[in-house]
Amino acid sequence: MYPDKHKEIVTSLMEGKFITVEDFLFETIKKNEDFYINFFETSFGFEVIGNHNFYYLVSGETNENTSRDISIFFSILCYELDKDGKNFLEELNYTEFYIDDILEYFKNSSWLDVIKANKQLNTDDSLKRHIGTMVKRNIAVKQGNDRYSFTKAHKLFIDFAKDLIKDDKNESIA
């Protein structure tokens, strides 16, 4: 006997989606966390990662670059928001962003070398498609009229960037 909404949970996670605390599926996974940890490990060799904000899958065999590109996206956006005098964590948690504002941040960024080298971020169209990918993965939500907000899943990528900075600083000191 599988938990309620099992097929939806498996389909969502296998499609690379984050199931966030706002999603009705979150409670089912949380109540059955041990089951899902064992299910995905036994069935697919995947690891279920979860916290009080979201669940997602990890596979040691993947070679996809989307997570890297999302991390770069958030790193640049946060840098530009901070440079603009805004608290980037508050902005990501509580603000809706117009697509034109995001495009403008990237066009005027001091990280143009990184942006131009990344196929997901180097043109307006590719950046729009990249944001669409984040919507499909439940990292961003389209609010309508070219406005987007970010789900709690953005925290994974912010934490990843923080860890990279710490590692880089530790290597510089050593």
The 10s digit of each residue's pLDDT in 27-73 is 999 999 999 999 999 999 999 999 999 999 998 766 567 888 998 99
Q: Give the C-alpha distances (Å, rounded to integers) separating 124 from 31, 100, 120, 149.
A: 42, 9, 9, 18
Best CATH choice for the domain 66-173 from the list 1.10.1760, 1.10.3470, 3.40.720, 1.10.10: 1.10.10
Dihedral Cα 168, 93, 70, 171, nearest 10 deg? 0
Report pLDDT digits (tens) over 79-115: 999 999 999 999 999 999 999 999 999 999 989 999 9
* Domain residue spans of the chain: 6-58, 66-173
The per-residue pLDDT for 59 is 84
Write down the mean pLDDT value for the chain: 91
According to DSSP, the β-strands at 140-144 and 47-50 are unpaired
